[in-house]
Amino acid sequence: MPISKEPATRTLAIRIPRPLEQLSKDELERKQHIGKVTTRTLRTLTEKFASRGFEWTLPVIFAKSTDPLWPDPGASIETRIETEIYGETVRTTLSMIIHKIVACSLLHPKFFTLSPNVRIEKRERRATGWHAYEFTQLDFEARNTESKDIRRIVEDILRGLLEDLKKNSREELTYFNRYKSLDAPSSPFKVYDREDLEAKYGKQWETQLPSAIKEPTWVTNIPREFYDYEDFDTRKWDNYDLFLPRYGEVLSGARREYEHGKITAKMERDGVKKENYELLLTLAKEGRVKPSAGAGIGVERLVSWIVGAEHIGEVQLFPKIPGVVYEL
C-alpha cells in the first residue's frame, strides 16, 4: 500500500474513534460485529492465498532496511522511527517490500504475510478517516509474474471474498446495512492510466476518483519508489493501485525492478540513501534478484469499506489515529 490517499468523502467534522474503555454498550456491540467481519475476511483471504500455493510467512518489525516511502505523491510522514539495537541502527517496518523482493528471489516463488506497518502520518491526517499510524498489510509477491496476472488474482480473491461474506456473514452485513450494497464487482475491473486521470481531474485526481467510481477500479502508471518498475524509454510505470468507491486506495503494487543499474540510477535520481539498501544492491549486482510482482492490501481499509465505517480507527481494536495516542 502506498502512503496515503485522501478520500473525497471525508469531512473535518468526522468523529474520532474513542478507545474501547470509553465505548457505550451499543458501540461495543458494533465493534463486536466488526470483529466478526474481520475474522471472516482474514480467514477467507488467507485461505484463498494459501490454496493458490502462496506460502504464509510471518512478518518482521525491525530491520536495517525498510521501504523508503519516497518519493511518493501521497507522502506525509511526520517521523521515521529509527532506534539502536546491539549497536546497529534499525527501523520499524514501513512496508515489507525489501523483504518481499529478497524472499521471493531467494526462497519462496509465491508467498504472503500479514505485516504490521508503522507510518507516523502527519497529525492533520487524523480527520481523513483513512489513515492510521499502525496498520496491517496483507502483502504478497510472486516470482516471474506480470502485473496483469497480479491484478487478476486480486480481482478473483476480492470477488470470492465478497461472495463468501454475503453467504456466511449475512447477519453482520445486514447490521451494517451493507448486505445489498456490497456487490461483487464484475471482472476485469476498469483500469485507468494516471496520466488520463490527471488530464481530467488535475493533480488532485486521487481525491476526486473515489466519488467518481461505482466499483473497485485500478489506476496504473504512478511515479513513486525505486522498487516499482519504470520503463526508461517510455517513462511509464508498470504499477497499480486499487481504488474503492467513496473510500480510496486500498492496495498498491507493481512489477519490480531487479536490475542493479536501474535500481542505483533511480536511488541516485530520487535521493534515496544507497547505504540503507546494501544487501538488496549486492544481490542485484550478483544477479540474484529475480523479476517479480506483487501488492499489499490494507486490511483495515478493506474492512472499513466492507462495513461502511466512517473512520478507519473504528475497525481497529485499539485505534491508532494520527496525532491521537491512547494508552493501548
CA distance 61 to 56: 17
Site for ligand ASN (CB under 6 A): how many residues?
13
103 is an interface residue for ligand ASN by CB under 6 A: no
CA distance 14 to 103: 41
67 is an interface residue for ligand ASN by CB under 6 A: yes
Show the CA angle centred on residue 199, arms to residues 196 and 202, nearest 5°: 120
Looking only at residues 183 through 222 of this chain, which bind ligand ASN when binding is defined by CB under 6 A?
A: none
CA distance 180 to 150: 28
CA distance 146 to 141: 11
Locus of grid cell 509474474: 145
What is the closest distance, in whole angstroms, from the C-beta atom of residue 250 to ligand ASN in the complex? 11
Q: Which is nearer to ligand ASN, 2 or 245 (CB)?
A: 2
Helix, coil or strand: residue 293: strand
Q: Which is nearer to ligand ASN, 104 or 303 (CB)?
A: 104
Which x/- pattern, by CB under 6 A, does the window 68-97 give for ligand ASN? ---------------------------x-x
What is the closest distance, in whole angstroms, from the C-beta atom of residue 35 to ligand ASN in the complex? 25
Phi, psi of 193 (to 5 degrees): -85, 135
Looking only at residues 234 through 253 of this chain, which bind ligand ASN when binding is defined by CB under 6 A?
A: 252-253
* Element containing residue 314 per DSSP (H, E): none
CA distance 314 to 232: 43
List the one residue from 34, 102, 103, 139 that touches ligand ASN (CB under 6 A). 139
What is the closest distance, in whole angstroms, from the C-beta atom of residue 118 to ligand ASN in the complex? 12
Give me the residues that bind ligand ASN (CB under 6 A), please: 1-2, 67, 95, 97, 137, 139, 252-254, 294-296
